[in-house]
Structure 1
Amino acid sequence: MGALDIFCYTLWILGSVTAFPFGDTLNRQAVLKTNIQTTAQFPNNTWLENIAVRANGQLLVTTIVPDAAVYQVDPTQSHEPLLVAKFPSALACFGIVELGLDEFIVTTNNWTLSTAASPPGSNSAWKIDMTTFSESSGQGAVITKVADISTATYLNGMTVLDKTAGTVLMGDATLGVIFYLDTYSGEYEVVLDDVLMKITVPGPVKLGINGVRLLGDELYFTNNNQGLFVKVPIEKDGTAKGPYEIVARFDTILDDFAFDTTGNSYVTTDPDNTVDFVTQKGSVTTVLGNKNSTLVAGATSAAFGRTFEDEGILYIPTNGGLAGPVNGTFIEGGKVMAFDTSVVA
């Protein structure tokens, strides 16, 4: 990775967001975009859940159906997806973040599609070392268990808190809290707990906090049940140092998201089959898909490319509509879409 790549990536990770007022209510305008293509398509009944980008530009995606696994996807499509890791002691693999160069932390549990829930006591964190991984053989990743998070019920979104200290923050979608994990010692504890992370709205959506990302010293998260995009300033130990603030309100179920270099966000809305652009002031515009579209059916997460060639490309994994078939009938294998965000005004 060249100096320009490192500079752009540093801006993305470390850039700060200016303060803005209480989030606007939903103001969507469907915008037709054509600068999008399929990077990889998986077999039917494959749910891609989360994504991380390696320094060499390769993509790592986690699966929660049909099993708990991590695959590498080549954005140039020069080879088929490669199986990196499989976790036979778990049923689903959720969050993934890069802690150090080519060292990734993932979370697993026993979530199932039939129950849409994870049994308490089944959550674990693992490290995947990709430094010796071979693209030609698909072998060489070193997998070690970091810790069993026994008090968690449903770990989903995750973000790095401090790379040097080896700490991450993990959202529990059922408890509606955020866990702090020291990946070196395996010690963990709840550091954030607020009603904006909880399940408070009666109905079928039984997931609270979902996507979790850190931008500067502000932690952002989505809430499935309440349809909220929220931020809170945090201390170095992950605890809150200021009030929670609603960035934007939605009338749909939110999943994960990614920041661009200016602090705007791209939020995925599974099962509403869209990617929404959220400005720093909280205005929301749909830039990909719609409820009845198969373009990004079941969009679950998003991440920007890290090389000079794709730094403005947003990679979007999907579950193919498994969480809610498009038009009640359409389901396909999960896929990774590549979207050129330069077309977003």
Structure 2
Amino acid sequence: MHRILLLVSCLIYLVVGKAEVAMAEVQATQLFEFKNTFIENLHMLPDGRILLTTFGSGDLWALNPKASPATIRKVATLPGSTGLSGIASLGHGRYAVSGGEHSSFNFVNGSMRVYVVSMAAEDQEGKVADSIPVADTSMMNGMVSLHNRPYVVLCADSIGGRILRIDTHTRKASVAFADAALGPGSNTTVSLGANGLKVRGDYLYFTNSAQGTFARFPIDDYGRNTGPVEVIARLDNPASITYAYDDFAFDWKGNAYVALHSSAINKITSDGIQTTFAGGSTSSIFKEPTSVALANDGESIYVSTGGNETYGGQVIQVDIRETNI
């Protein structure tokens, strides 16, 4: 698809009792659009390509955003899955990808697995090296590896209100910890609790779609929580199907860029100041943003979307250089 350059004039609003102020234009470029396919997650490769998971199949895709136009190719098919969700780097060119038999807003309980996919730099195709079953969950969502043990991944059980731990060396899956802050709570319209996951410093950060929170737990080297949850920011209205946090990414300064359904990317600073960074209720750029990844050079973010009635899932590049000061 040809590239579409979009200059977006957005309003920044400070969530907790602050006045609205104007923001400079944000440059966004649509790189790719799937046809009738929901993109769930994206992850940067060292060579600049972007791994993509979708809810349309068990296929893992790689997008080259530097080609003109951007090119995409299937790099692996993960057997036994009809939809894929989280991605995490295991180091040494290996990646963990969660998947299973996909249904609406969940997976068939007992069908979920963590696949280990080898993506050597000199090889454009991925190779499925292992498939680890994860019992007793119907929604493995965001996934992240531990810094000191990158072969161990943590995954959000969005419905069960738990953080799962999968050791890809021993092939053992267990519960790292459970907490009410991770579940959907009393929200009857949004069934997913903890969604995106990232480790930064000694903390596990997460979004909770149903509770409308961006929060963190302190964790140890094994991914066990060592203290209470700290809510950094929250939505200013109750979460709903059309108003909910999804996945997110940090920039090098510690600002989080959070996908917000149905049409925005919010920026949350380390001290909890939240603004609309790009898109918004009057914008037509993002069609259900689902995930965010920081480009390898730190100068832009990539946003994936689920699409809507007329658009398929998109990949959009957004410049963060002028606003990240």
TM-score, normalized by the shorter chain, greater than 0.5:
yes
Query: d(CA) in 1 for partners of 2:158 and 2:199?
Result: 17
**Equivalent pair of 1:32/1:288 in contact (CA under 8 Å):** no
Q: Could you tell me which of 282, 298, 301 is aligned with 1:314?
A: 301
**Equivalent pair of 1:109/1:123 in contact (CA under 8 Å):** yes
1:12-161 map, 5 Å: 25=16, 31=23, 33-43=25-35, 45-64=36-55, 66-78=56-68, 80-112=71-103, 115-131=104-120, 134-135=123-124, 140-161=125-146
1:318-333 map, 5 Å: 318-321=305-308, 330-333=309-312
Q: Which runs of 5+ in 2 are unaligned?
A: 1-13, 238-242
1:183-198 map, 5 Å: 183-198=168-183
Structure 2 letter corresponding to 1:177: R
- 1:67 deviation in Å? 1.3
**Equivalent pair of 1:119/1:153 in contact (CA under 8 Å):** yes
**Equivalent pair of 1:28/1:285 in contact (CA under 8 Å):** no
Q: Could you tell me which of 190, 202, 224 is aligned with 1:217?
A: 202
Query: d(CA) in 2 for partners of 1:180 and 1:26?
Result: 38
Asked if 1:295 corresponds to 2:285, the answer is yes
**Equivalent pair of 1:27/1:283 in contact (CA under 8 Å):** no
Query: d(CA) in 2 for partners of 1:269 and 1:297?
Result: 10
For residue 196 of structure 1, give the secondary structure of its aligned residue in structure 2: helix
Identity %: 28
Structure 1 letter corresponding to 2:270: Q
**Equivalent pair of 2:90/2:150 in contact (CA under 8 Å):** no
Query: d(CA) in 2 for partners of 1:28 and 1:229?
Result: 21
- Deviation string for 1:276-313 (max 9, x for gaps)? 0001111110111113432111111111111xxx4211
Query: d(CA) in 1 for partners of 2:51 and 2:44?
Result: 6
**Equivalent pair of 2:289/2:306 in contact (CA under 8 Å):** yes
Query: d(CA) in 2 for partners of 1:292 and 1:93?
Result: 31
- 1:42 deviation in Å? 1.5
Structure 2 letter corresponding to 1:312: E
- Normalised to the residue count of structure 2, the TM-score between the two structures is 0.87
- 1:247 deviation in Å? 0.5
**Change in 2 beyond 3 A, CA 1:28/1:206:** farther
Query: d(CA) in 2 for partners of 1:82 and 1:207?
Result: 30
Query: d(CA) in 1 for partners of 2:273 and 2:136?
Result: 37
Query: d(CA) in 1 for partners of 2:111 and 2:19?
Result: 38
**Equivalent pair of 2:144/2:154 in contact (CA under 8 Å):** yes
**Equivalent pair of 2:33/2:314 in contact (CA under 8 Å):** yes
- 1:240 deviation in Å? 1.0
Instruction: Kindly indicate which of the two structures has a greater share of residues assigned to helix.
Output: 1
Greater displacement, 77-86 / 185-194: 77-86
2:240 equivalent in structure 1: none
Structure 1 letter corresponding to 2:110: G
**Equivalent pair of 2:251/2:298 in contact (CA under 8 Å):** no
**Change in 2 beyond 3 A, CA 1:313/1:172:** same
**Equivalent pair of 1:28/1:286 in contact (CA under 8 Å):** no
- Normalised to the residue count of structure 1, the TM-score between the two structures is 0.82
Asked if 1:344 corresponds to 2:313, the answer is no
Q: Which runs of 5+ in 1 are unaligned?
A: 1-22, 322-329
**Equivalent pair of 2:15/2:275 in contact (CA under 8 Å):** no
Query: d(CA) in 1 for partners of 2:79 and 2:224?
Result: 34
**Equivalent pair of 2:144/2:153 in contact (CA under 8 Å):** yes
Structure 2 letter corresponding to 1:199: P
For residue 106 of structure 2, give the secondary structure of its aligned residue in structure 1: coil
1:142-291 map, 5 Å: 142-162=127-147, 164=149, 166-250=151-235, 251=237, 252-270=243-261, 272-291=262-281
| More RCO (CA 8 Å, sep 6+) | 1
